[in-house]
Structure 1
């Protein structure tokens, strides 16, 4: 088993452009990035893009995306440990190997199976959304919500691997039952049982995959169409599992970690849309907790990447209460904290769509020293 410290050291030096060349992807320089014909599906017009600043790749044709490790795993058909070893050789990083006992190996294999199931579910959801997104005649509510109302670009939608769970309660569950994988799907909260009937947990919802720092999908958030029904919650989220504890995961950290290191600062918001909208506006060091308050675990993760944070919560009483709770936790962890005040009734998503990025400097209201 490879020590996490070694994986972190490797992440610091990986260059995704060098990796792509090494695995024989024919890149062409385009602006500040690179393009190529996608290695994961047949095409004549390049739809595969690499962003060397964020150290990520994405394909606008098939939806594939991730970091350098994910690129090698998918292109070379390697598992995670072998991919890390291959890249460590390429970048001259010495890996520390830890001897794992049989119980550790069994747990690790179970976790890998759960990651694979979530990745497969995300691919099914993403395929549904891309179908509607790529159809010029589509007037689907999810497309209207994401593109017209939220003003998200296809770039952002693909980068965060957004998807759609169709209005079909057996969309995933029927596949899981046929494959004999219902129990695992139930453990992850992808399926549920009511009155002895197995159905999907997420139905007719926009899907937000939640990644850990390595880019593995650990859970999902699902947002419903506005229907005025308060009995049907606006968001439902994956339950706790062997691979997901919401108090330990920050949404967007996988996409933001390179920028957080570079800026030595993280912006903390409240929700999925806040994170994606701010990334799209250029504030790519933005993260958010997953339906919970900031915890000590969140603070420790951020402290490993930066020395300061900006709290950017909704402009209401609940937002200020969230700020006050977070300040203590973050300062105890040794982080310098600034608070950014929004006008009452605004959230980072709506505010960002109406303003230029540099306006944020005027919204800062104070700093709390660590």
Structure 2
């Protein structure tokens, strides 16, 4: 076994993210809850504490840290679990093993009677991950990319962070469809290289499509991934909300402007898979899709889906025909930053008015109800509204001022 700093590995990975590769987790307060994969669990018994970075199953008693979870899930030794986590943390190792596969383990699939968890040996067939050989192939293509000049010195550092390059004209047959295009590497929330998006250059064939992406068969699904989430997730946690934009270049422009809590839909409509990813890190979203008819339609649909799933959402209106990338290039970094900050403040103010109206209506309903059960539900909703109101005020830079005398 290679020599590792165990503490460094534990600091470099998030237990909730690793566990989320095996079971579906949902946030409840400060914890994540899910069906335990280590016994036949029918009611969520597994609890993951993101602050302590520990897991506990209150039914079967399994508990421990991220290494213990991988040991149990992969049915492997401590040393093997550390080696499996090393590719995730980008720490060096001398005897690499395949990284954690993103197969979903059914409850009870891992127990003392089995030699290994019931994870598909061919993740691509089930669309639940990218196999080790595919990751190797993707990394080889990434290393072959040529430098890309984005045309704006303020954007250049961000384009380097996102590893954007240009595919050479001479490429192996399997990459032929992406030759002579601007390449956006696609990484999952753990940072795994799962594919590429290839954008046609201005002098490209007019009959060619604007984008060519890694196919579903090759392991990439737009509906299950958010561009830049691997870079944005910590900022989303810290800021308490996420910006959602439309395209790859929009996300890069937002990151270049300092809004590192930004993810992109990769040019597709908001899906349940996107919502599930967002809910792992926040309950509040600001949608900033393109300022055209298609963008307006997409924004409306995205807001509806997010609200249906219980997230608090505000929708930003961009100038007609513009997007974050075009505005950054048109106005420059400083003016763009001021615009986004002003827009966010304006959205919060308008949202507070709408929230105040909702609270007023809820109080009127409460005064009309005499059934204890109905009043309990209404009071619970009011508590959530007031908690959200406080959060809005703090992020907007002024103290909460809502007063019962206003109702």
Match among 312, 316, 334 for residue 288 of structure 2: 312
Residue 163 of structure 1 and its aligned partner are, at CA, apart by 1.9
- Name the CA shift for 1:212/1:10 in 2 (closer, same or farther; >3 Å): farther
- d(CA) in 1 for partners of 2:240, 2:221: 26
Consecutive unaligned residues in structure 2, runs of 5 or more: 1-17, 26-47, 54-85, 101-108, 125-129, 356-384, 386-407
Give 2:131's match in structure 1, choosing from 97, 107, 111.
111
What is the number of equivalent residue pairs in this alignment? 259
User: How many Å separate the matches in 1 of 2:234 and 2:342?
Assistant: 25
CA distance in 2, matches of 1:282, 1:12: 26
TM normalised by structure 2 equals 0.56
How far does residue 103 in structure 1 lie from its aligned partner after superposition?
6.7
Aligned residues of 1:121 and 1:172 also touching (Cα < 8 A): no
Residue of structure 1 equivalent to 2:20: 4
Aligned to 2:155: 152
Q: Go from structure 1 to structure 2 and tell me whether the alpha carbon gap of 1:344 and 1:150 turns closer, same or farther (over 3 Å shift).
A: farther
- Based on CA coordinates, which of the two structures has the bigger radius of gyration? 2
State the distance in 1 between where 2:249 and 2:218 align: 26
Cα displacement (A) at 1:167: 1.9
- Tell me, yes or no, if structure 1 residue 338 matches structure 2 residue 314: yes
2:279 corresponds in structure 1 to: 303
**C-alpha displacement at 1:10, in angstroms?**
9.6
Residue 362 of structure 1, aligned match among 335, 339, 342: 342
Q: 1:238 to 1:6 in 2, by over 3 A?
A: closer
Q: Which has the higher contact order (CA 8 A, sep 6+)?
A: 1
Flag the 1:298–1:226 CA change in 2: closer, same or farther, 3 A: same
User: Quick one: distance in 2 between partners of 1:230 and 1:345?
Assistant: 21
Kindly indicate whether the alpha-carbon contact (under 8 Å) linking 2:110 and 2:117 is maintained by their aligned counterparts in 1. no
1:266, 1:299 → 2: CA distance? 11
Shift of 1:172: 2.6
* Deviation (angstroms), 1:218: 1.1
Instruction: Give distance in 2, aligned partners of 1:273 and 1:150.
Output: 15
| Equivalences for residues 1-370 of structure 1 within 5 A | 3-4=19-20, 69-72=88-91, 74=92, 78-79=96-97, 98=110, 101=116, 104=119, 106-107=121-122, 111-125=131-145, 128-129=146-147, 142-143=148-149, 146=150, 148-149=151-152, 151-153=154-156, 155-168=157-170, 171-173=171-173, 190-191=174-175, 200-227=176-203, 229-241=205-217, 243-353=219-329, 354=331, 355-363=335-343, 364-365=346-347, 367=351
Q: Distance in 2 between matches of 1:114 and 1:229?
A: 29
2: distance between equivalents of 1:10 and 1:218?
Answer: 28
Per-residue deviation, 1:251: 0.5
Find the aligned partners of 2:245 and 2:287 in 1 and give their Cα distance: 7
Instruction: State the alpha-carbon separation in 2 of the partners of residues 212 and 242 from structure 1.
Output: 14
Give the distance between the partners of 1:205 and 1:11, measured in 2 at CA: 40
Q: Distance in 2 between matches of 1:107 and 1:342?
A: 43
Question: How far has the Cα of 1:324 moved from its partner?
Answer: 0.7
Structure 1: any 5+ residue segments left out of the alignment?
Answer: 15-66, 83-96, 130-141, 174-189, 192-199
CA contact (8 A) 2:99 2:132 kept: no
Mapped to 2, the partners of 1:250 and 1:287 lie a distance apart of 6
Cα offset for 1:230?
A: 3.2
CA shift for structure 1 position 158: 2.8
Distance (whole Å) between structure 2 residues aligned to residue 105 and residue 228 of structure 1: 40
1:99-142 per-residue CA deviation (whole Å, 9 max, x = no partner) reads 675873622597122122212211222xx22xxxxxxxxxxxx4
C-alpha distance in structure 2 between counterparts of 1:150 and 1:232, whole Å: 29
Distance in 2 separating the partners of 1:296 and 1:12: 27
